[in-house]
A = this chain, B = another copy of it.
Amino acid sequence: MHLQEVLCHFSFSIIIFMTQLKNDRFLKALLKQPVDRTPIWMMRQAGRYLPEYRASRKDAGSFMDLCTNPDFACEVTLQPLDRYPDLDAAILFSDILTIPDAMDLGLYFETGEGPKFKKVVRTAADVDALPVVNTADRLSYVTDAVSTIRRELNGRVPLIGFSGSPWTLATYMVEGGSTKDFRHVKGMMYSQPEVMHQMLDKLARSVIDYLNAQIKAGAQAVQIFDTWGGVLSHAAYQEFSLKYMQQIVDGLIRENEGRKVPVILFTKGAGQWLESMADTGCDALGIDWTTDIGNARRRVGDQVALQGNMDPSVLYGTPARIREEVASILESYGPGAGQVFNLGHGIHQFVDPEHAKAFIEAVAELSPQYHK
């Protein structure tokens, strides 16, 4: 590193340290510390339901052009915060498939069909050929985006970094895109379990490097998205998904800038497995709407905070119905710390932004009574 670079890094770190976090409700709730009201953010809060996002996307070009340009990524990350001042966290705008893309599998997007890969990974030789991804070498556009967003946030709210889970990444890499039946990836898992384990280990090591790089660049909490862990059997989930999330939790930087960096695990459809997820030593679990949050709290609330869990489809209801659902989830969790309000999955593209506003405002207005 040249002297100039060193100085630049040094002064940049100073700036980060010097910027007081004005709203730390989200970080406190993840650590089960008292807050004045339940913090809220929405998965996929920077997304197609927002007209300003669609405009930026048009300017940027493709979806990946948006992800790989730190200025555009920063712009769209901040959009929901500007529109909804009650949001308590920003989340890095990026895709979960950056790591497989950096493994040279050739990520691309076809309109209406979701992500696809030019190369699929199905044999022992394919897995042998996969590199462990070094973020500094291959994914600096992500850490650059983190630094840029962090600077532009200027302490407004904390910034969440994230990654896909090894199992979830593997499903796309083996299938070559989205899938309904998980035929090839489960076929590999059941017929060549050692090959699958080798692949998941390479992914876990890549994710550790990736999330630690995000933390060093300024991410103040990280979430692991295990979108497809819930399609596994209870036993296969432990062996092929949770085991590698455990490896990641064990390998993460847990404190930075004098603060704990909370880790959130989110497996969609994992309501039956919360206990084993909590045992990984993560700080919080994301839960979906199939689990009653009060029941989840009784099961694992002593160990972890809970984030969730309104069905995103409730946002198709009237503002009054949305408010009623928010009230019911707050009531189910009950008084005291340890809850972060969110949807149980990403917000849908067809939702009216005014309904998202009703949702966020309902949480801000109805939750203080649970924190007296």
Contacts and interface: CB of A to CB of B under 8 A. Distances in A.
A138 to B, nearest CB: 31
A292 B234 contact: yes
A313 B272 contact: no
Given A234-B290, A328-B235, A317 B269 contact: no
Nearest to A294: B234
B233 A289 contact: yes
A-B pairs with the 9 shortest C-beta distances?
Answer: A190-B317, A186-B313, A187-B316, A233-B289, A234-B292, A271-B272, A191-B317, A233-B311, A190-B314
Contacts of A234: 289-292, 295
Given A290-B233, A290-B272, A291-B272, A191 B313 contact: no
A371 interface: no
Interface of A: 181-183, 186-187, 189-191, 230, 232-237, 269, 271-272, 289-292, 295, 311, 313-314, 316-318, 321, 328, 344, 348, 350
A191 B321 contact: yes
Given A186-B313, A272-B291, 17 more contacts: A182-B313, A187-B313, A189-B313, A190-B314, A191-B318, A191-B321, A232-B290, A233-B311, A234-B291, A234-B292, A235-B292, A235-B328, A237-B290, A269-B290, A272-B272, A272-B290, A272-B292
A230 B289 CA distance: 10
**Chain B CB within 10 Å — which of A269, A289, A290, A292 has the most?**
A290
A344 B237 CA distance: 15
Nearest to A236: B311
Nearest to A230: B290
A352 B257 CA distance: 56
A189 B187 CA distance: 37
Contacts of A269: 269, 290
B233 A186 contact: no
A295 B236 CA distance: 16
A313 B232 CA distance: 10
Contacts of A233: 289-290, 311, 344
A187 B321 CA distance: 11
A273 to B, nearest CB: 8
Nearest to A237: B290
A316 B181 contact: no
Given A289-B234, A290-B233, A190 B321 contact: yes
Contacts of A289: 232-234
A294 to B, nearest CB: 10
A27 to B, nearest CB: 28
A183 B348 contact: yes
Contacts of A328: 235
Contacts of A235: 292, 328
13 contacts: A183-B316, A186-B311, A187-B317, A190-B313, A191-B321, A230-B290, A232-B289, A232-B290, A233-B311, A233-B344, A234-B295, A272-B290, A272-B292
